[in-house]
Amino acid sequence: MYMARIGIDLSSDTSTRPSSAMRRAMADAPVGDEQRGEDPTTSALEARVAALLGHEAAVFLPSGTMCNLIAFLVHCRPGDEVICAANAHVYGSEAAGAAALAGSQFRVIDTETGIFGVGDVEAVIRTPRARSPRSRAVVVEQTTNRGGGAIWPEETLIALAEMCRARGLALHMDGARLLNASAASGLAPARYAGRCDSAWIDLSKGLGCPVGAVLAGSAGFIEEAWVWKHRLGGAMRQSGVLAAAGLYALDHNVARLAEDHAKARRLAAMLAEAGVAVTPEDEFTNILILDLPPDGPSAATVAEDLLKDGIRFGVEGPFQMRAVTHLDVTSEAVERAGRALIAVLRG
């Protein structure tokens, strides 16, 4: 009911909207039937993302959630187990799709940042026996959503990939904000995603597209992914209208992700001075986890007060909020939002 009144939306980078230039690119896109391989714009996007992520092939899908689900459906069989961080998006925010549709359960690793190492995984891999689920896949989330946008180090991914190959596990990257990681670290996306058996990027977050994600992997993996895309109702027809937004974003909205990181750094500095514990303390991407003073108003109360002024933050817990910077929130808007949050906390 507040949607029409929102002027500054820091709840998520999914609130971005396509620019006029992106809309023109969508309107002018050459299209065809993607199911017949006849949509040139969709094919161009898939080829470009496959190369970007260091893989043989890719498939354009409606959402990142579907990318994750299809990866589990291809990598796993019913009764298998997927290892991930306890605060991973796949575990807590995708309606248990892996269990409901792939028949796979999760085994989680407790980690505040969402990042874990080889030893953490080896500690939870099941010993093969008839009465146990089979450990089948490991999921890494780049960057970590509820870990404050933390970046998986390349050396950690290399070590995990080597261990997974040795143990017969698939390594899958939830790359919803992979390009934020690359923008912050200076490493090419393939340096991260190319280590994995499958990976994807989201188009509808920091890249500013209205919809879509692209899943990449080996040619055989993508062949199977197409089967599941059709089974799940993700098949489209003249999808080039949507794919064109992705191509535009890759041309115009990747380098500017560093601007979002600078906005997050500024907001963190403002709030830290006001006594709000902010994660991360350094190495910023575009996500901040805010721990409010426990003797002050609750996160829900603060969020409700801010909404009255057209400012939206995410609520993560009784005294925890989340702020995500993106291309639709200017530096001036970040300053205003920070001042407003501080004013509410000070009563």
CATH architecture for residues 3-16+256-345: Alpha-Beta Complex (3.90)
CA atoms within 13 A on the CB side of 338: 25
C-alpha closest to that of 72 among 217, 201, 185: 217
**Residue written as token pair 């998006």:** 89
Q: Which of helix, strand or coil describes residue 99?
A: helix
pLDDT number for residue 5? 78
Tokens of 196: 């994995």
C-alpha closest to that of 2 among 240, 341, 308: 308
Residues in Cβ contact with 83 at an 8 Å cutoff, skipping those fewer than 6 apart: 106, 107, 108, 109, 121, 124, 125, 135, 137, 138, 139, 169
Same fold? 3-16+256-345, 31-252:
no
For residue 50, which amino acid is it? A
Question: How do the domains of the chain map onto residue ranges?
Answer: 3-16+256-345, 31-252
Residues in Cβ contact with 213 at an 8 Å cutoff, skipping those fewer than 6 apart: 60, 61, 62, 63, 64, 66, 67, 176, 200, 201, 202, 203, 204
Rounded Cα distance between 146 and 78, Å, is 28
**Residue written as token pair 């689900």:** 69
Q: Per-residue pLDDT for the chain (347 aa), expressed as one digit of tens each?
A: 344 478 999 999 999 999 999 999 999 999 999 999 999 999 999 999 999 999 999 999 999 999 999 999 999 999 999 999 999 999 999 999 999 999 999 999 999 999 999 999 999 999 999 999 999 999 999 999 999 999 999 999 999 999 999 999 999 999 999 999 999 999 999 999 999 999 999 999 999 999 999 999 999 999 999 999 999 999 999 999 999 999 999 999 999 999 999 999 999 999 998 889 999 988 899 999 999 999 999 999 999 999 999 999 999 999 999 999 999 999 999 999 999 999 999 88
DSSP 8-state assignment for residue 256: T
Beta-carbon count within 10 A of 324 CB: 26
Q: Which fold has domain 31-252?
A: Aspartate Aminotransferase; domain 2 (3.40.640)
Phi, psi of 214 (to 5 degrees): -130, 125
For residue 266, which amino acid is it? R
Q: Which of helix, strand or coil describes residue 55?
A: coil
Rounded Cα distance between 229 and 19, Å, is 28
Cα distances (Å, whole numbers) of residue 335 to 80, 184, 327, 331: 47, 22, 15, 6
- Annotate 116-151 with DSSP letters as a single string: --HHHHHTTPPPP-TTSPEEEEEEEESSBTTTTSBP
